[in-house]
């Protein structure tokens, strides 16, 4: 059996297809590299160059997942007893190793999921920032001393770990999001079983090995690969079996609801970060050019494959024509291609063939609703290529940017997320109508308003039903020390990032330390203080 530290990270040395042999990846269970128990494997492909196979990985069985859970449960006692500042030091080491290997990890992320180099760098930097932020939280994992209502008694509160955490994340932010989840889990003293995204197993494999290189003890983080419907489901099933104490999931609302049901019936904590149909409102007082830039990036950055991507663009009727003319000029000039080969592309391929198929189904829904297509023609192929597409279409999985107008509240596409490069445009009569439209979808993740009327900005931020709001900023974007998450169909109220996420990975333990040597009963043995009414002649106080 090979320990994870006995092999290097040679595959990080180059990101160029053809320069590297296909990596043989493994699960990492209790620090050991392991294949699936039945020998089955799957292949990770570059969505920009489909013939470029990055590696093959285990399709984990139920036995594999249960072995990982057993390792996490075995490691829990010692890890929870490790002083929080020491846990923080290991997490700080992770951040420094990520910085050391940043360029290589960025190139790997671009190669494995097709993000531009600039966007991949942002994702990796978010993981670094998370490590550096939570390193110091190891020295601030504060409890409180509370005054007792009885003499010779002390009251304290402490944060305690929940136990074994099941971590399931999507592939669109394969560096940032798992670190959002696991780093606060680790600082609180939990252990983890991490199911990598099926479309980003090599990056996950590299990150897990870096975590061990930073000094993480064996069994504290266990990585399993495979499908969400199998390996991911086995982790969720383990909640019913009493083996998992926490689930943290990023993905679709449909799957999130199913996970929430399992956790709810077992009284197990879950963090659910789900989909969005994020509105951007533009009012007449706005800087139109700035608002166009926000809508363009929000809709088409990452090929629209963010949970915070712009969904409904809500334009006040007085500026509708000017805005749309400027937006369409930008859309028609969009540069699309492989960021490892071409500079200054706005976005690259879809995350995988699966995401491409789902996106095309979403476009069918929009067009069935009767929305007016202003731009876009599905998948980019030879003979169906935008002017600024760079490369050979059939090499990868590329999509046109799409814009649909005349969308109304009664259409399915107004309410449903279309995960890809597509914007649905809605016209508003006034501010109240715009706010109503912004709140009318079943989601509530991110939101945005462009206005230079401060009263409108104030009324929007207190009236919108969303977890996040940008004022004169796009619907996308997050920082490692600000809470991230949604309401309604976008989540269950838990948050990623910042000090707030600590609540999701710990519970409060109240300690009642009786020093008097006798039984004292709160509320019953407290001396009553009688009020004494003073005899005062108030007429003589004038």
Catalytic positions, written as ranges: 307
482: closest CA among 215, 180, 246? 180
Q: Which two tokens stand for residue 328?
A: 């369409």
What distance in Å separates the CA atoms of residue 323 and residue 318, rounded to the nearest whole number? 10
Any residues with CB less than 8 A from the CB of 5 and at least 6 apart, and which?
31, 209, 212, 213
Phi-psi category of 378—alpha, beta or left, where left has phi over 0 and alpha has psi -120 to 50? left
Q: Which two tokens stand for residue 86?
A: 């020491």
Any residues with CB less than 8 A from the CB of 331 and at least 6 apart, and which?
296, 300, 375, 401, 403
Distances (CA, A) of 333 to 118, 251, 300, 376, 420: 19, 31, 12, 12, 18
Vertex 336 angle, CA 333 and 338, to 5°: 155
CB atoms within 10 A of CB 347: 26
Q: What is the β-pairing status of strands 448-450 and 470-471?
A: parallel
Q: Is there a contact between 187 and 138 (Cβ–Cβ < 8 Å)?
A: yes
The helix (run of H) or strand (run of E) holding residue 375 is strand 372-375
Any residues with CB less than 8 A from the CB of 89 and at least 6 apart, and which?
135, 138, 215
CB atoms within 10 A of CB 78: 12
Q: In what order do the strands lie in the sheet with 269-273?
A: 2-3, 32-34, 27-29, 221-224, 191-195, 164-168, 246-250, 269-273
Place of tokens 């009324």: 459
What distance in Å separates the CA atoms of residue 85 and residue 531, rounded to the nearest whole number? 49
List beta partners, residue 278: 310
Q: Which two tokens stand for residue 226?
A: 């495979």
Place of tokens 């330390």: 513
State the DSSP code for 241: T
């Amino acid at each position: 059996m090979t320990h994870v530290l006995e092999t290097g990270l040679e595959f990080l040395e180059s990101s160029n297809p053809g320069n590297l042999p296909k990596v043989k990846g493994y699960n990492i269970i209790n620090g050991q590299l392991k294949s699936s128990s039945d020998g089955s494997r799957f292949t990770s492909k570059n969505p920009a160059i489909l013939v470029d196979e990055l590696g093959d990985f285990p399709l984990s069985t139920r036995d594999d997942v249960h072995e990982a859970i057993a390792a996490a449960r075995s490691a829990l006692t010692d890890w929870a007893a490790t002083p929080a500042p020491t846990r923080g030091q290991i997490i700080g080491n992770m951040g420094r190793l990520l910085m050391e290997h940043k360029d290589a990890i960025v190139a790997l992320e671009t190669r494995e999921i097709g993000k531009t180099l600039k966007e991949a760098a942002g994702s990796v930097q978010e993981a670094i920032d998370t490590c550096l932020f939570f390193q110091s939280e190891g020295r601030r994992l504060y409890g409180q001393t509370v005054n007792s209502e009885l003499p010779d008694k002390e009251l304290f509160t402490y944060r305690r770990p929940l136990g074994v955490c099941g971590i399931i994340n999507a592939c669109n932010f394969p560096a940032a999001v798992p670190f959002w989840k696991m780093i606060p889990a680790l600082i609180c003293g939990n252990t983890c079983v991490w199911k990598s995204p099926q479309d980003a197993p090599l990056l996950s494999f590299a990150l897990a090995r870096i975590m061990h290189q930073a000094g993480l003890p064996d069994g504290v983080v266990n990585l399993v690969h495979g499908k969400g419907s199998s390996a991911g489901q086995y982790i969720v099933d383990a909640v019913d079996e009493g083996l998992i104490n926490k689930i943290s999931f990023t993905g679709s609302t449909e799957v999130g609801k199913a996970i929430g049901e399992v956790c709810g019936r077992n009284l197990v904590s879950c963090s659910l970060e789900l989909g969005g149909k994020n509105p951007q409102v533009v009012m007449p007082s706005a800087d139109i050019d700035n608002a166009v830039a926000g809508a363009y990036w929000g809709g088409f950055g990452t090929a629209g494959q963010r949970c915070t991507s712009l969904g409904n663009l809500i334009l006040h009727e007085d500026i509708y024509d000017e805005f749309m003319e400027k937006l369409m000029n930008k859309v028609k000039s969009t540069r699309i291609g492989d960021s490892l080969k071409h500079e200054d592309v706005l976005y690259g391929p879809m995350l995988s063939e699966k995401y491409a198929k789902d996106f095309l189904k979403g476009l069918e829904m929009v067009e069935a609703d009767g929305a007016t297509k202003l731009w876009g023609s599905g998948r980019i192929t030879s003979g169906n290529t935008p002017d600024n597409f760079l490369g050979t279409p059939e090499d990868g999985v590329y999509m046109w940017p799409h814009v649909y107008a005349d969308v109304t509240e009664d259409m399915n596409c107004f309410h449903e997320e279309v995960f890809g490069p597509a914007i649905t445009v809605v016209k508003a009569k006034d501010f109240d109508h715009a706010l109503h439209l912004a709140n009318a979808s079943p989601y509530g993740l991110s939101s945005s308003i462009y206005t230079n009327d401060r009263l409108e900005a104030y009324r929007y931020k207190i009236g919108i039903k969303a977890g996040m709001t940008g004022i004169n900023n796009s619907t996308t974007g997050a920082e490692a020390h600000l809470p991230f998450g949604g309401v309604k169909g976008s989540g269950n109220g838990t948050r990623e990032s910042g000090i707030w996420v600590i609540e999701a990975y710990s519970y409060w333990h109240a300690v009642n330390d009786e020093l008097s040597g006798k039984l004292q009963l709160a509320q019953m043995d407290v001396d009553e203080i009688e009020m004494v009414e003073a005899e005062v002649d108030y007429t003589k106080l004038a």
